[in-house]
């Protein structure tokens, strides 16, 4: 072999060795993301998995799980991982997860930001199938609890479970199936819960291995459904608190749980107390309380009429964050009214008398006297706290406002007009001739004058009494007339 051939042979051998070394190295290089294929211990069609809880997630022979070493002391029991799959509510989809659990609870997350910023669906050993969320305001729920597990299912909770979330983009609602049983149907899902990455979630477990996470798009939104059609109103609303209001097939509203946070929306209708009106709302609620708002500014400044699970009909008022009431509680709700699934509140205000009436489910529960218009003046709104609430009606109607009728002027009686029955009759040319006066004499003229003056005094006295009597009749008539107008 000549020198040239020897050089080429050495170069080729070097290339082969380098290729072998690269291939061998590549087989041991860790992947940047946990892209796991079907057929492994974790069946999934999702990729780019990344922990958001401070722990390390990896595939094991039992499934996909966390090492549960997050080094976060305030929340050591909640663990989350997100995929690269994002959802925004514009497409219908099906998301199925399966897991084997020894511990408290687990499920799926539909918006996975961090341990303090997520929306999830969980089933736990207490039998709850529910919708927890975490935000800067702390723990809450974003939808009503679903149907719970049976006592037998709770007893046998440790082990394998299957959960399916099917979301309908046209109605913004979802159904949740756990272990083959539909636990929640037509659950309204707020837009904020759909603006993020799909993920997995568990808490309080000795171990939890996910064996399946499969996402399937089931169609674009048809666009034929206008969710505002489920809310009858002649007003426009905007939320003034972070959570709680969105349009869905259940109406206008949503959920905010936790420590009874107040949820407020204000309308474009502004009242000033000078006009009479009627304000009517219809809603369903599950939780603490709900009703209508007045003078809505923000969560620290509003008035409201609320019914709640304590059976109260009451009138909360907040000024610069200081809570009080603007009128004493009404009588408690009857058992029949408390048991209703849908409620109606009507508030009428009479601007003339500063008087209001509050009707709940068709019954008059409170009359409010001397209501200071300043308390309710401002934007009308909607109000609920610590509840899942959906409003299906909010109607404002301006009523005719009574005004003070002007007093009718009274006619002054002419001084000479005296009722014939009260005045003496004087002779006229057609009447009988008057008696002839005696002739005046020098000695008797003064006496005769005194006599005539005495008769004149009597006549004037009688006439004066008649005038006073007539005036009394007129004054009495005026007073009676005024009383009638006041009553009217």
Length of the chain: 488
Range 227-398 classified under CATH 3.40.50.2300: no
Banded pLDDT at 402 (limits 50, 70, 90)? confident
Per-residue pLDDT at 428: 44
H/E run at residue 151: helix 151-155
- Does the structure show a pLDDT above 80 at 467? no
Banded pLDDT at 274 (limits 50, 70, 90)? very high
Say what the pTM is.
Answer: 0.65
CATH of domain 43-220: 2.60.120.560
The phi and psi torsions of 462 (rounded to 5 degrees) equal: -65, -45
Digit-coded pLDDT (tens) for 60-110? 999 999 998 887 766 668 899 999 999 998 899 999 999 999 999 999 999
Banded pLDDT at 31 (limits 50, 70, 90)? very low
- Provide the 3-class DSSP secondary structure of residue 109: strand
As beta bridge partners, residue 182 has 177
d(CA 387, CA 259): 10
Banded pLDDT at 111 (limits 50, 70, 90)? very high
- Does the structure show a pLDDT above 50 at 280? yes
- Does the structure show a pLDDT above 50 at 427? no
45-49, 213-217, 473-477, range with the lowest pLDDT? 473-477
- Does the structure show a pLDDT above 70 at 121? yes
Helices marked H in 169-301? none
Digit-coded pLDDT (tens) for 174-190? 999 999 999 998 888 88
If one compares 258 and 487, the residue with the highest pLDDT of the two is 258
Q: Both tokens of residue 310?
A: 């304590």
Angle at 204 between CA 199 and CA 206, to 5 degrees: 100
Digit-coded pLDDT (tens) for 228-246? 999 999 999 999 987 678 8
Per-residue pLDDT at 415: 55
- Does the structure show a pLDDT above 60 at 6? no
Digit-coded pLDDT (tens) for 135-149? 877 788 888 899 999
- Domain definitions of the chain by residue range: 43-220, 227-398
- Does the structure show a pLDDT above 60 at 464? no
d(CA 24, CA 121): 43
d(CA 332, CA 310): 8
Per-residue pLDDT at 227: 83
Neighbours of 317 (CB within 10 A): 18
H/E run at residue 484: helix 445-487
Digit-coded pLDDT (tens) for 296-307? 999 899 999 999
Digit-coded pLDDT (tens) for 247-259? 888 899 988 755 5
Cβ–Cβ under 8 Å, residues 357 and 277: no
Digit-coded pLDDT (tens) for 340-395? 989 999 999 999 999 999 999 999 999 999 999 999 999 999 999 988 899 999 99
- Does the structure show a pLDDT above 60 at 54? yes
104-113, 314-323, 456-465, range with the lowest pLDDT? 456-465
Judge if 43-220 and 227-398 fold alike in CATH terms. Answer: yes
Cβ–Cβ under 8 Å, residues 289 and 307: yes
């Amino acid at each position: 072999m000549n020198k040239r051939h020897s050089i080429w042979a050495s170069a080729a051998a070097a290339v082969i060795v380098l290729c072998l070394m690269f291939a061998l190295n590549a087989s041991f290089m860790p992947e940047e993301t946990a892209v796991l294929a079907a057929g492994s211990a974790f069946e999934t069609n999702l990729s780019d998995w990344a922990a958001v809880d401070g722990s390390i997630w990896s595939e094991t022979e039992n499934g996909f799980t966390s090492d549960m070493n997050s080094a976060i002391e305030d929340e050591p029991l909640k663990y989350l991982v997100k995929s690269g799959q994002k959802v925004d509510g514009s497409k219908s989809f099906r998301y199925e997860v399966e897991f084997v659990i020894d511990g408290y609870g687990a499920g799926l997350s539909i918006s996975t930001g961090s341990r303090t910023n997520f929306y999830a669906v969980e089933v736990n050993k207490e039998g709850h199938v529910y919708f927890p969320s975490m935000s800067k305001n702390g723990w809450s729920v974003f939808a009503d609890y679903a149907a719970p597990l049976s006592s037998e299912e709770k007893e046998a909770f440790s082990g394998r479970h299957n959960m399916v979330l099917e979301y309908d983009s046209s109605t913004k609602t979802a159904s949740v199936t756990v272990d083959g049983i539909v636990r929640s149907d037509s659950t309204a899902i707020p837009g904020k819960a759909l603006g993020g990455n799909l993920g997995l979630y568990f808490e309080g477990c000795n171990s939890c291995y996910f064996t399946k996470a499969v996402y399937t798009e089931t169609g674009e939104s048809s666009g034929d459904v206008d969710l505002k059609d489920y809310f009858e109103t002649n007003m426009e609303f905007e939320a003034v608190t972070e959570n709680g209001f969105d349009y869905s097939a259940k109406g206008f509203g949503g959920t905010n749980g936790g420590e009874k946070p107040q949820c407020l929306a204000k309308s474009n209708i502004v009242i000033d107390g000078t006009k009479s009106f009627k304000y009517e709302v219809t809603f369903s609620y599950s939780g603490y309380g709900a009703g209508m708002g007045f003078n809505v500014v923000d969560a620290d400044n509003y008035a409201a009429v609320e019914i709640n699970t304590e059976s109260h009909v009451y009138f909360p008022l907040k000024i610069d964050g200081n809570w009080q009431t603007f009128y004493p509680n009404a009588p408690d709700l009857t058992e029949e009214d408390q048991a209703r699934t849908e409620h109606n509140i009507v508030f009428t205000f009479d601007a003339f008398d500063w008087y209001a009436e509050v009707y709940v489910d068709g019954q008059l529960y409170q009359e409010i006297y001397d209501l200071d218009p300043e308390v309710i003046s401002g934007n009308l709104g909607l109000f609920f706290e610590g509840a899942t609430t959906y409003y299906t009606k909010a109607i404002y109607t301006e009523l005719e406002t009574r005004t003070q009728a002007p007093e009718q002027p009274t006619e002054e009686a002419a001084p000479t007009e005296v009722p014939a029955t009260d005045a003496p009759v004087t002779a006229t040319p057609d009447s009988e001739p008057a008696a002839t006066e005696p002739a005046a004499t020098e000695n008797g003229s003064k006496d005769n004058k005194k006599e005539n003056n005495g008769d004149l005094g009597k006549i004037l006295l009688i006439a004066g009494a008649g005038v006073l009597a007539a005036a009394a009749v007129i004054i009495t008539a005026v007073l009676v007339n005024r009383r009638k107008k006041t009553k009217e």
